[in-house]
Structure 1
């Protein structure tokens, strides 16, 4: 695995929960599934290999948002606790919650289950506090909730998913009051669609592969209904080999530049609403 500078990682942060960067703009980027770390008391209980876990995590999403002044990067694996699930489903206990994978060798002891949920509770306390601060400073904010998704689930040599149902960039807006935030959403979509890479533009569509039904966007829209716009962005894993984990840094650099390029327009859109 590589860090945000492209250098080989020497270790995974097993103790840190997340890293928060704070700047003076109303745009926030999050990479809540970027992490691969596991608590020490869980490692021997996990039935999955590191490669199996990595395949369902969102590596390099922290890299994509690293030029945003406000960003949250989670270091713990979604297989410890999934911060984008509601609390009662945030720890995978059944294969139906985890792409058919049996995560644990045996039933997870209740005490360890509850310990994992502490991270879920503390994350949302931290997130609400941070967003309240940005709201006080700027009057409103936009959260770019960045994820990635697999499109070669049948194997490394199998035919990838039909592009008709798998855009390179999928925007999810399920929990959003779309009429209230239409101007912000259109600003983002236009910026993403204008960007050129290798002589073409990316395939950007709304609510195709995913609809943005995650807990983080729901939480933000519940707690900040008038001032917070949270947009789920799913990048298809065309920037890496999802089976080996090998990145294509030319594509990643383009996605990094693309994400940074949306900020001026989004700030302007927010300012126009004041």
Structure 2
């Protein structure tokens, strides 16, 4: 049988980073390029031994997770989505706070029925350790290959905490997309962050340009981007987009597909705008 080929081939063979160990803790797709996109609060899974200790319903738990943020990782060459609920292990907190029964660590909300068993805390710490060990190796490999890396640390946030029938929070303090950029080197990556934000603004969401601002709701960042900066400094540009949940009803969980696709289109456009900054 004779096979015909187009002038431009579809595939080539070249050395590249390959994941050799699978984990039940996360979904990881390793492509060839300097952009890492993560959704570390997307997951909802919780081990059965932890569920009886919850003081909230499954629906209440999901409301404070970041569902669907994993879909926005499509812009990354490396795509990482954590499967576990942030209430099983919060990877955006230090190890000793990864699972906490103190309401002071959970926005003043009482999520747990009293003190959690030591064995549950140990399991959370072990999961936290596995994640950070894997990400250390991953970023080391990316920086060695490309010289630098862009890390997109994707989250979402509630803006209707007063109730399903109450008015949403004031837009002045709640942009459609907040960019956390407190843990990047402004001298090296300030222009990159500016062009990234401008590309997001040029991509309409539900028929209008989105309100994109930096460091409004979360002026201090989170543990994950702070840890990245502490370990890799100006070699990694970390941008942490926080998407206001206008792509879903945070009380019912109903999704607005158009808004979600608009957010994803904007993310892909923003990454394409700055990708060249990370290529040797």
Same topology, TM > 0.5: yes
Deviating more after overlay: 225-234 vs 40-49? 40-49
RMSD: 1.5
Alignment partner for residue 102 of structure 1, among 110, 114, 119? 110
Alignment of 1:258-273 (within 5 A): 258-271=266-279
Distance 2:207 2:245 in 1: 20
Show the counterpart of 1:142.
150
- The offset of 1:243, in angstroms, is 0.5
- The offset of 1:212, in angstroms, is 5.2
Mapped contact 2:205–2:263 kept (Cα < 8 A) = no
Show the counterpart of 1:17.
25
Structure 1: 5+ residue runs without aligned partners? Answer: 1-14
Mapped contact 1:31–1:147 kept (Cα < 8 A) = yes
- The offset of 1:16, in angstroms, is 2.4
Alignment of 1:16-95 (within 5 A): 16-95=24-103
Deviating more after overlay: 40-49 vs 24-33? 40-49
Show the counterpart of 1:6.
none
Show the counterpart of 2:214.
206
* TM score, norm. by length of structure 1: 0.90
2:264 maps to 1:223: no
Show the counterpart of 1:3.
none
Distance 1:223 1:107 in 2: 33
Show the counterpart of 1:165.
173
Distance 1:71 1:32 in 2: 11
Runs ≥4 in structure 1, deviation > 4 angstroms? none
Show the counterpart of 1:153.
161
- SS at structure 2 position matched to 1:123: helix
Structure 2: 5+ residue runs without aligned partners? Answer: 1-22
* TM score, norm. by length of structure 2: 0.88
Show the counterpart of 1:233.
241
Q: Which has the larger radius of gyration?
A: 2
Mapped contact 2:33–2:78 kept (Cα < 8 A) = yes
Distance 2:75 2:238 in 1: 18
